[in-house]
Structure 1
Amino acid sequence: MIGMTDLRDRAEPPAAPLLRALWLGLRGEWTAAHEIAQAHDDANAAWVHAWLHRIEGDESNAAYWYRRAGKEVGQGSTDAEGEAIARTLSDR
């Protein structure tokens, strides 16, 4: 199972696209991370997309993507949410 610490410590991106989007987001590579999230049309991609907007401070856009993901708007730390996303994605 991959967690946020694992993603932060990796020198190379993970092969799984949505985990790669998380990895890129942790590095501030917003354009590349968003492109990956937008290339997938499912709830997990929408969740990653919401998380990215939340980190960027774009709460209204994040809220849109949370609705698309079928999730409540993220509360608490973005690290904790990122951990939950990473675990969900690595369990697939």
Structure 2
Amino acid sequence: MMKTLTVFKHSLADTAPSNSWSAPLKALWYDGKGDWNTAHALVDQLNDQAAAHVHAYLHRVEGDQWNANYWYGRAKQPPFEGSLAQEWEALVQSFL
């Protein structure tokens, strides 16, 4: 199991995420590799708050703030105020 953000970032050199990770963490891994479509597909049909939070972030990456705000609401989280990189790191740390 991952314990630190640094170890997670190093895993981006791997060819696939760990099978033991949650869908939201896998989605963040794919986003970290620049694969938005796979990341979005992993959380798009899930209904839990963790997936909704990652979904919100992904729509923010896409530049669709209205859709991001909808998903932040589903996640019961305020829209993130910092940079995309800061939000990605905060989300990864929350799931490790």
TM-score, reference length from structure 1: 0.83
4+ runs of 1 displaced by more than 6 Å? none
Gaps spanning 5+ residues in structure 1: where?
Answer: none
CA change 1:55–1:20 in 2 (3 A) is same
Task: From the CA coordinates, give the structure whose radius of gyration is larger.
Answer: 2
Q: 1:13 aligns with which of 12, 17, 29?
A: 17
Q: Is the 8 A contact 1:2 1:87 kept in 2?
A: yes
* Correspondence list, 1:49-68, <5 A: 49-68=55-74
Q: Is the 8 A contact 1:63 1:73 kept in 2?
A: yes
TM-score, reference length from structure 2: 0.80
Work out the number of aligned pairs and report it: 89
**RMSD across aligned C-alpha pairs, in angstroms?**
1.5
Q: 1:72 aligns with which of 55, 73, 78?
A: 78
Q: Deviations over 1:5-60 (max 9, x none)?
A: 43332113133121110011122212211111123211110000011111121111
CA change 1:35–1:2 in 2 (3 A) is farther
Does residue 41 of structure 2 align to residue 43 of structure 1?
no
Gaps spanning 5+ residues in structure 2: where?
Answer: none
